[in-house]
Amino acid sequence: MKSIINFSLNNKFAIWILTIIVTAAGLFAGLSMKQETIPNISIPYLNVIAIYPGAAPEGVLQDVTLPLEQRLRNIDDVKMITSTSMENASSVAIEFDYGTDLDQATAAVREALNEVTLPEDAQKPTISKFSMNSFPVISLSASNNQAKDLEELTSIIEKQVKPELEKLEGVASVSISGQYVKEVQLKFDEAKMAQLGLTQDTVQGIVQGSSLRVPLGLYNLEDSEKAVVVDGNIIELDDLKNLAIPVILNAGADSGIPTVKLSEIANIQVIGQAESISRTNGAESIGISIVKDNDANTVDVVNAVKDSIIDLEKDYNGLDLITLLDQGEPIEDSVNTMLSKAVFGALFAVVIILIFLRNIRSTIISIISIPLSLLAALLILWRLDITLNMMTLGAMTVAIGRVIDDSIVVIENIYRRLADSGEKLRGRELIREATAEMFLPIMSSTIVTIAVFLPLAFVSGMVGELFLPFALTMVFALLASLIIAITIVPMLAHTLFKKGISSKRITHKEELGKLAKGYQKILNWTLSHKIITFGSAVLLLVGSLLLYPLIGTSFMPEQKDKFIMVTYSPEPGTQIAAVEKVALEAEKLILSQPSVEKMQYSIGGANPMGGASSSNSGLFYIEYNTDTENFEDVQKTLIEDLQQEVPVGEWTSLDMTGGMLSSGLSVSVFGDRLEDIQPVSDQILAFVEEDTTYFEKAKSSLSTSYDQYTIVANQEKLSSLGLTAGQIAMKISPIRERPVLTEIEVDDKTYKVYIEADSSEYQTINEIANEKIMSPLGFEVAIKDVAKVEKGHSPNSITRTDGKMVVSVTANIKTADVGKASTSLQDKIDAIELPDGVEVKFGGSTEQINDTFKQLGIAMLAAIAVVYFVLVVTFGGGLAPFAILFSLPFTVIGALVGLLLANETLNVSSLMGALMLIGIVVTNAIVLIDRVIHKEREGLSTREALLEAGATRLRPILMTALATIGALVPLVTGLEDSAGIISRGLGITVIGGLISSTLLTLVIVPIVYEFLMKFRKPKVQD
């Protein structure tokens, strides 16, 4: 070790060059790193969606979902299959084991789907992956007050705006919704065709035979091979309209065959309509969503799109492109927060060190470790292709207070010995010895802190993937800080203290001596009254544990974003025209709110969060002013007002994390038959609705259902008339898919020509019952004469998990204490007598809290075990490390009191704080006990060694604790916005725990150490 210190003292210029290289490389790495909101978690889910037009949920289940489930279940590594059968669509979510290669899984699913036989009307199933990168990084809304209509706006967007955005570097795809789409419709004039003796099938055959383009291959013509193609020359709309259709096919050869133009027997026209309805700030608009490449930088892509918007608005008069969703801005804000926080933390550290050392030079030496450690960490993260995200930025924010500790301990020891008039060593020797003296405690404390974060790397699932970048950032920054403390710090100390320190500076030693002497007196008294002191500390600990029920638990801290996404789900069977009316009423209400800045909604578009959605549901995006106060209340009031204004259907706020970080209740009832499940789910729903203290907006997945008429065939009557139930179904079955006649070109675009048929529109069930079918016996029979109609209900959607039917009861949790809310419900559910085969499971926040807390709890226990092992190796025995571990339980006192006073819950953020505390707190105890052992070896008794070490080490312990607290002050005071994992809860836990454990470490650890030393065996000399 001394050789490394000697190298840095003898090669100062080389160390300077190395410092400059690391600084420059770190800055380059930081500027080059990709910036994301959260790490790109590879979630092992695939979603298979199959569209079955016009089918009710039960039909979708039988004809589409069950065949898909049966085949997909046999794929390797499948953990769970959950299916939802709804109107027109089946959605099958496949969860794989963590670590499964999703590309291989996708290929296996695709192969399995090719083997499934689905009804003719069902569309080919599509497979989609769930990834953070599959969400749009920015979404825009386009409108143009100069454009005549939506058709003109669509033309500008499709021909100009979309290609421009697709050209931008890092853009993977640009999708448009709400645009004007055209198609060619052909409707036959049945009466005219009957007069001319034509049938629809005859005309269809002639049109399809005439509009062919068939390559016949190569012919030997004119001494060379020539290609021959037969072209029906039906290319444009007029060609189709003028196509001659023969009327009398058996006419004589002389007179020729009379013909009629297709336009005379059919109405052919180009029809245009909006693909889905989209409006922004009260005007018709088109939605544009931009998804980035996997390797692209979110901030760069978003900024490139914003720059392109400015140019496009200049080029097209009246074009207004409004930015709605923007993932780049919060990331830039996080980076700025981290930078300002680094400055704030460094300034606080400067103040602390100045107060204790009253020396500018030693202050400069110690704070240099902050930027250098973070830049070194950035360099390694960049090389490992880890992005700059909420977790890595949060780790750096938190590391600021910790990376300075090693340097403080070393420079304080150097400065103390320089200021000691009795010190025999001088200059280089003094600095080398003072640094070497502190190497063991700072190395132990750094390794211990790293050991704390090591178990996070082995936490499985989403939680593990989320926390791995945090753990790695902390590890790299701490290793860098250790290297800086034994190389750059002694080098700078030797440079800046070449002439020692002036005699004036030694005067403050006496003043600090007063603090040290005061502490010595307290320590001496407590060592003489061990039972009273230790008993009081234990009482405080037990008392603080009793606060736990008052604090409560939740999964994630509340987000601070000032926007809300609201979904409108109409009642089953509602027509899209009715939904449009509802949306216009809601638009008026939302735009009349005082703080609303932007508002966009779409109806009938795709669900932006992935998965299948009802074809006539609405999605509203509302952005508020950034200074809107009590945003949670504003959000809640808006939903209530919308529900009051439009009571038909359901309004809910959308979870932007896709349900990963939800804070709602979800209870699932599993069983084989709906008849067994429904009574249990109804009972649970009643419990949730009764408990208005904790829950609101309770609903069951069976709450919404269709009125269903079942036409039950009388087989005896049908058989006697030569009929079957299939003939009834064929008679009244609506046309699902319109037949395509041919393709033509309109304005250089190819369109399919659809045949429009008169589908039977039934107004009442009686009209269906009175419908007649032709019997083979030659007469018509009314359906009501051979079947009876039974009225019932059909669920809005049918969900199954691993082959069992599931009914979910969901609700919003009104309190921040999710744990208490679910416990109160759990007790009631446990009292229900469940039928055979029926099972109840908690999901949502409850499941996430249990799983995450369990994993982080195991990580903490593993961390403590690793810490003890490292300490045993460092100190060469088991008793001293055991005394050091006694500093840990007392962190609980300050942490829980802090959370209670700050009105914060125990969540993932505060648990991360608790994990960090293990490393930080043990560091202080190591610094103290290391000095005690040194003094014992010099011949002092245990009591004398404790009193001497306590007085000597008081200053560095207080300095490191206060510097760490100071670096976290911005998180707690709200001087800076922060949300997500690295939030106020983490700051409060660390600060509270550090205050209580530092004060008690200085008293409890010496008591335990002196007590344990009575059992120490005398060392036998070899």
The two structure tokens encoding residue 420: 């000691």
* Residue 252 reports pLDDT greater than 60: no
Domain that holds residue 772: 706-795
pLDDT at position 614: 53
Single-letter residue type at 99? G
- 559 phi and psi angles, rounded to 5 deg: -80, 155
Is residue 221 classed exposed, middle or buried when 0-12, 13-18 and 19+ CB atoms within 10 A define those classes? exposed
DSSP 603-623: ESS--TTSS---TT-EEEEEE
Helix (H, G, I), strand (E, B) or coil at 359: coil
Split at pLDDT 50, 70, 90, the class of 560 is: low
Tell me, yes or no, whether 526 and 611 share the same domain: no
Q: What is the residue-averaged pLDDT of the chain?
A: 82
pLDDT at position 226: 80
Structural domain contains residue 120: yes
Strands (E) located in 460-509: none
Distance of alpha carbon 607 from alpha carbon 954, whole angstroms: 60
Q: Which residue has the tokens 């499940």?
A: 677
* Rounded mean pLDDT, 908-932: 81
**Could you tell me how far CA 429 lies from the centroid of its own chain?**
55
* Residue 661 reports pLDDT greater than 50: no
CA trace torsion 727, 733, 737, 741 (10° rounding): 60
β-strand 618-624 against 596-603: which pairing, if any?
antiparallel
Structural domain contains residue 784: yes
Read off the pLDDT of residues 634-654 as tens digits, 9 standing for 90 and up: 888 888 888 888 888 888 876
CA trace torsion 487, 488, 489, 490 (10° rounding): 60
Q: Which residues contact 592 (CB under 8 A, 6 or more apart)?
A: none
The two structure tokens encoding residue 659: 């349900």
pLDDT at position 673: 83
* Rounded mean pLDDT, 241-250: 78
Structural domain contains residue 866: no
Helix (H, G, I), strand (E, B) or coil at 728: helix
Tell me, yes or no, whether 494 and 530 share the same domain: no
pLDDT at position 77: 83
Phi-psi region of 217 (alpha: psi -120 to 50; beta: other; left: phi over 0): left
* Residue 306 reports pLDDT greater than 90: yes
Structural domain contains residue 700: no
* Residue 31 reports pLDDT greater than 80: yes
DSSP 885-904: HTTSTTHHHHHHHHHHHTT-
At which of 795, 810, 844 does a domain end? 795
Packing angle of the helix pair 818-830, 674-690 (nearest 10 deg): 130
Count how many domains the chain has.
6
* Residue 251 reports pLDDT greater than 60: no
Q: Answer whether 518's CB lies under 8 Å from 811's CB.
A: no
Distance of alpha carbon 899 from alpha carbon 553, whole angstroms: 11
Q: Answer whether 463's CB lies under 8 Å from 851's CB.
A: yes
β-strand 171-177 against 563-569: which pairing, if any?
unpaired
Higher pLDDT, 871 or 87: 871
Strands (E) located in 111-179: 126-131, 138-144, 171-177
Distance of alpha carbon 918 from alpha carbon 77, whole angstroms: 37
Tell me, yes or no, whether 472 and 583 share the same domain: no
pLDDT at position 373: 92
At which of 795, 826, 851 does a domain end? 795
Tell me, yes or no, whether 894 and 987 share the same domain: yes
- 218-227, 958-967, 1013-1022: which has the minimum mean pLDDT? 1013-1022
Split at pLDDT 50, 70, 90, the class of 381 is: very high
Tell me, yes or no, whether 896 and 1004 share the same domain: yes
Tell me, yes or no, whether 944 and 994 share the same domain: yes
Read off the pLDDT of residues 89-99 as tens digits, 9 standing for 90 and up: 888 989 888 77
The two structure tokens encoding residue 190: 């049945």
Tell me, yes or no, whether 409 and 466 share the same domain: yes
DSSP 903-947: T--B-HHHHHHHHHHHHHHHHHHHHHHHHHHHHHHTT--HHHHHH
Tell me, yes or no, whether 912 and 972 share the same domain: yes
The most confident of 220-229, 621-630, 940-949, by mean pLDDT:
940-949
Q: Please, which residues bridge with residue 998 across strands?
A: none
pLDDT at position 706: 66
pLDDT at position 983: 64
DSSP 422-468: T----HHHHHHHHHHHHHHHHHHHHHHHHHHHGGGGG--HHHHHHHH
Read off the pLDDT of residues 809-850 as tens digits, 9 standing for 90 and up: 888 777 766 777 778 788 888 888 888 888 888 775 566 666
Structural domain contains residue 694: no
Distance of alpha carbon 62 from alpha carbon 69, whole angstroms: 11
Read off the pLDDT of residues 154-174 as tens digits, 9 standing for 90 and up: 888 988 899 999 999 999 889
- 32-36, 569-573, 863-867: which has the minimum mean pLDDT? 569-573
Read off the pLDDT of residues 733-787 as tens digits, 9 standing for 90 and up: 766 667 777 888 877 777 788 887 665 667 788 888 888 888 888 788 888 888 8
Compute the half-sphere exposure of residue 889: CA atoms within 13 Å on the CB side of its CA: 15
Tell me, yes or no, whether 905 and 1005 share the same domain: yes
CATH number of 53's domain? 3.30.70.1430
Tell me, yes or no, whether 528 and 585 share the same domain: no
Phi-psi region of 865 (alpha: psi -120 to 50; beta: other; left: phi over 0): alpha
Q: Answer whether 22's CB lies under 8 Å from 75's CB.
A: no
Structural domain contains residue 488: yes
pLDDT at position 557: 57
* Residue 659 reports pLDDT greater than 70: no
Tell me, yes or no, whether 472 and 381 share the same domain: yes
β-strand 266-274 against 259-261: which pairing, if any?
unpaired
Q: Answer whether 954's CB lies under 8 Å from 1002's CB.
A: yes
Q: What angle do CA 987, 326, 395 make, to 5 degrees?
A: 25
CATH number of 471's domain? 1.20.1640.10
* Residue 229 reports pLDDT greater than 90: no
Element counts in the chain: helices (H) and strands (E)? 35, 31
Distance of alpha carbon 734 from alpha carbon 825, whole angstroms: 46
Q: Which residue has the tokens 């065959």?
A: 257
Split at pLDDT 50, 70, 90, the class of 535 is: very high
The two structure tokens encoding residue 318: 């009246």
Long-range Cβ contact pairs of 433-437 (< 8 A, separation 24 or more): 434/410, 435/5, 435/410, 435/485, 435/486, 435/489, 435/490, 436/1, 436/2, 436/5, 437/413, 437/934
Tell me, yes or no, whether 623 and 751 share the same domain: no
* Residue 687 reports pLDDT greater than 60: yes
* Rounded mean pLDDT, 277-289: 84
Q: How are the residues of the chain apportioned to helix, strand and coil, as percentages rounded to the nearest 5?
A: 55, 20, 25
* Residue 658 reports pLDDT greater than 50: no
At which of 795, 812, 832 does a domain end? 795
Split at pLDDT 50, 70, 90, the class of 498 is: confident
Read off the pLDDT of residues 694-737 as tens digits, 9 standing for 90 and up: 888 788 877 666 677 888 888 888 888 888 888 888 777 766 66
* Residue 321 reports pLDDT greater than 50: yes
Structural domain contains residue 309: no
Q: Answer whether 796's CB lies under 8 Å from 86's CB.
A: yes
Give the length of the chain.
1022
Read off the pLDDT of residues 465-489 as tens digits, 9 standing for 90 and up: 777 888 899 899 999 999 999 999 9
* Residue 338 reports pLDDT greater than 70: no
- 120-124, 326-330, 420-424, 788-792: which has the minimum mean pLDDT? 420-424
The most confident of 122-126, 218-222, 874-878, by mean pLDDT:
122-126
Split at pLDDT 50, 70, 90, the class of 1021 is: very low
pLDDT at position 256: 64
Compute the half-sphere exposure of residue 135: CA atoms within 13 Å on the CB side of its CA: 17
* Residue 971 reports pLDDT greater than 80: no
Single-letter residue type at 935? K
